[in-house]
Amino acid sequence: MTKRFACLLAVLLFAFLTGCESPPSKPAEQAKPAEPVKKEVSFYSGKQAFNATNSLAVRWMADAQPVRLESKLTSETNGQGGKATIWRAGFISPSKGMIKFFVYSGSRLPDSPPYGVSSDNEAPYSADVAQLAYPAALLKTDTDAAFDTAQQHGGANLLKKDPNQPIIYVLLWDAPKHSLYWHVVYGSDEKTTKGSGVINAVTGAWVGAAK
């Protein structure tokens, strides 16, 4: 009887242990590699670029004064509509006698300036450059409005001929006239332009075609 009981107990113990064994686990699925996040390009108007670079310029020198702002062409945009991915602005410091250029970039191209605001090395400037300085508060008209005004005065015809016509924007102070102007340049640079409109950067009024 004892022998039979021992055998029965061994069978029950075997059945218990067998029932407790967990089923073989499935091989873990390999995680799929994450797809690279596509970084978006940012397009800025002239005033946006001016405000961003001016903020950094006054941190460079408290008496920093703007002398030039211009947009740059890239394969990401042709400049139509008043916006660009890269803007370059020059500021002088009268107390230091130096000029420094700042770049505001929303470009994602490999050879473009770093995204955001960056700066070049400072350098001495001439008396001619000093005459281009103007108060930052004068800029009231943005490049989208300047573009629309230029379109109404001949620019639209140029875009009809070439829908991909590149356009750059240059902000300059005219010392003799004591006025700040946007130059809307229909071309890749100021020398090879097919036409250039001058707009008052304070009032937004059409001034005329550049000679």
- Contact between 76 and 42 under an 8 Å Cβ cutoff? The reply is no
pTM of the predicted model as reported, rounded to 2 decimal places? 0.81
Whether the CB-CB separation of 109 and 84 falls below 8 Å is answered with: no
Which pLDDT belongs to residue 32?
63
pLDDT at 205 over 90: yes
Check whether 29 has a pLDDT greater than 80: no
* Confidence (pLDDT) at 158: 94
% helix / strand / coil in the chain, to the nearest 5? 30, 30, 45
- pLDDT tens digit string along 58-88? 999 999 999 999 999 999 999 999 999 999 9
Give the pLDDT of residue 195.
Answer: 87
Instruction: Decide if pLDDT at 170 tops 60.
Output: yes
Lowest mean pLDDT among 11-15, 38-42, 169-173, 205-209: 11-15
Indicate the burial class of 194 (C-beta count within 10 angstroms; 0-12, 13-18, 19 or more): middle
Q: For residue 184, give the 3-state DSSP assignment.
A: strand
